[in-house]
């Protein structure tokens, strides 16, 4: 009987969503949106409008390409604040919130899930700068970017979608 209650169905759906999002979510096509964790909701990733600093409540899909709600593409359904911010948006990369977007979704190609897997072996994966503090001091080869994950471990990526844990030795192609 309990399993058929609306409360149980809703909590089960929330749990399933949180479990699914643990593996990463595709970067939203809208540059002002990102998938982020929120301690108040529990574990999992939730959609956030970085321009308005609001959680998106009206999008039920991980694919935001057809999202025309409160914080989506330009439409009459947008909130008043979101409409105003969209009207003034010229270059997302110049906005204050852009770095937050990059921390959630490093450049991998639009709509792709970042693919960075930590090595499973305990053996050293590189003979170059095994000390991550030394890597922060080194200049990256052209075309490479550095990001630090939630555990404090640096990884490296390119605009072409390459990502790796080892410090890159050659420029990105």
pLDDT digits (tens, 9 = 90+) for 90-113: 888 889 898 888 888 877 544 444
- Region 111-119 average pLDDT: 40
Q: 80 falls in which pLDDT band (50, 70, 90)?
A: very high
Q: Is the separation of the CB atoms in 147 and 157 below 8 Å?
A: yes
Mean pLDDT of the chain: 75
Confidence at residue 97, expressed as pLDDT on a 0 to 100 scale: 92
Looking at the chain, the whole-number percentage of residues with pLDDT higher than 90 is 17
Angle at 77 between CA 71 and CA 83, to 5 degrees: 55
Which class for 30: exposed (0-12), middle (13-18), buried (19 or more C-beta within 10 A)?
buried
d(C-alpha 133, C-alpha 103), whole Å: 19
d(C-alpha 104, C-alpha 37), whole Å: 9
pLDDT tens per residue, range 119-153? 444 433 333 334 444 556 678 888 888 888 777 77
Length of the chain: 173
| Strand, helix or coil for residue 87 | helix
82 secondary structure, DSSP code: H
């Amino acid at each position: 009987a309990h399993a058929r209650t609306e409360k149980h169905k809703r909590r089960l759906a929330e749990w399933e969503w949180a479990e699914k999002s643990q593996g990463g979510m595709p970067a939203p096509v809208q540059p002002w949106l990102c998938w982020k964790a929120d301690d108040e909701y529990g574990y999992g990733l939730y959609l956030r409008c970085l321009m308005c600093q609001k959680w998106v409540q009206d999008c039920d899909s991980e694919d935001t390409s057809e999202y025309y709600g409160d914080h989506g593409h330009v439409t009459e359904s947008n909130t008043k604040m979101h409409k105003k911010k969209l009207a003034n948006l010229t270059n997302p990369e110049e906005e204050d919130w852009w770095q937050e977007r990059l921390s959630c979704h490093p450049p991998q190609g639009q709509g792709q899930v970042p693919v960075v897997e930590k090595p499973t072996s305990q053996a050293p994966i590189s003979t170059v700068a095994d000390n991550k503090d030394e890597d922060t001091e080194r200049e990256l080869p052209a075309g490479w970017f550095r990001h630090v994950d939630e555990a404090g471990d640096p990884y490296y990526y390119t605009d072409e979608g390459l990502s790796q844990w080892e410090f890159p030795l050659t420029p990105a192609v």
